Amino acid sequence: MPRGLAILTGGPLPSTPLIRPTTSTTPILLILAVGVAYDGLKDPHHDLEALEMLFNSCGSERTYFRSISGERATLETIEEAMGELYRESLRSLDSSILILLTGDGDEENRMHVMGDVFITDQDLRRWMWKFQINSHPNKRTVTIILDHCRPNKDVPFGTRPLPSLPIRTGHLPPIGVELIWSCSPGQMAAALLLPSTQDIPRSCFLLALMMASYSARIKGVLDIVPTINHELGRLLRLLQLTHKRIHETGRCDRCSGDQPCLAPVQEPYWKWAGSMESVHHLVHALSNMEVVSKVYDAFTRNAFFREAVSDSF
């Protein structure tokens, strides 16, 4: 499914330990990002490259970033990488894990991976349950962000309980696993780009996260969920204005091809977000990077953006 509109004019995990015990008060954040460019969709691969460049050049010694993309993005490789990251996190008492899955969603709200297969919340729950059992009594909280389209409004999270779990709890994520979707069922995960900003993510959710991190730098204390919702809403108003202008001038390729064409709507699904400790750590890390100023300035200085959100300045 298409992710959005263009705006008008790593390698494998190492075999050596990633982290070592430390007395620093700054938490250790381990990030695994998986991006699948399915059916010509270029945004996920672009976003992974942008994030990898960002964390490799600007990340602190307390933040570790690994990515999987292209032909390596199979269910087996993803499970193995998650397991390695989980085991590495147990080496430090103050570590947290953030996993980003970004790609294309199908009509059943599943994300495509390589080999004509899909990754679902059921896969993630099964893997995390296994990691927790294997590491008992030690475990870590894992936050998983799923940034892909969910066009089917009738397929919410947890419609199929895991066979290995009691029926009463099988539809829930294991304790210590937090799930965040960048959009709700029946919605698309939008993406956008400005011609002058080729080195920043295109995912509207990631852009909103970066703009929220800029606010964290300015304000110090931040209520993350309302701030991300606010910034994402402003980006969607830009897309909606663009959608309107394209149709006013008869330049919509989707309408010309008799494809569905609705004004973009995107509301993150926070029901299973939990404490979002890893997201707080990510926002803190991003707030210390110059890229968040670049993202914020790129949009707030854009004439179309200012027109779309004129009442929020």
- Within-domain flag for 269: yes
- Within-domain flag for 2: no
Q: Distance between CA 35 and CA 56 in Å, rounded?
A: 17
The total number of structural domains in the chain stands at 1
Q: Distance between CA 83 and CA 114 in Å, rounded?
A: 19
Convert the pLDDT of each residue in 217-268 to its tens digit: 988 778 999 999 999 999 999 999 988 888 777 777 766 666 666 778 999 9
Q: Find, among 281, 278, 289, 276, the residue nearest to 56 by Cα.
A: 289
Amino acid at position 120, single letter: T
Give the global pTM.
0.87
Q: Distance between CA 306 and CA 310 in Å, rounded?
A: 5
- Within-domain flag for 135: yes
**Domain containing residue 220: CATH number:** 3.40.50
66 has which bridge partners?
Answer: 32
Q: Distance between CA 258 and CA 247 in Å, rounded?
A: 14
Quote the pLDDT of residue 212: 96
- Within-domain flag for 101: yes
Which parts of the chain sit beneath pLDDT 50?
1-2, 5-24, 159, 161, 166-170
- 143 is in which domain, residue-wise? 29-158+171-252+264-311
- Within-domain flag for 132: yes
Convert the pLDDT of each residue in 80-102 to its tens digit: 999 999 999 999 888 999 999 99
- Within-domain flag for 22: no
- Within-domain flag for 7: no
For tokens 């304790």, what's the residue? Answer: 175
- Using CB atoms within 10 Å of the CB of residue 273, give its burial: 0 to 12 exposed, 13 to 18 middle, 19+ buried: middle
Which are the contacts of 274, defined by CB distance < 8 A and separation ≥ 6? 141, 143, 178
Q: Distance between CA 7 and CA 21 in Å, rounded?
A: 46
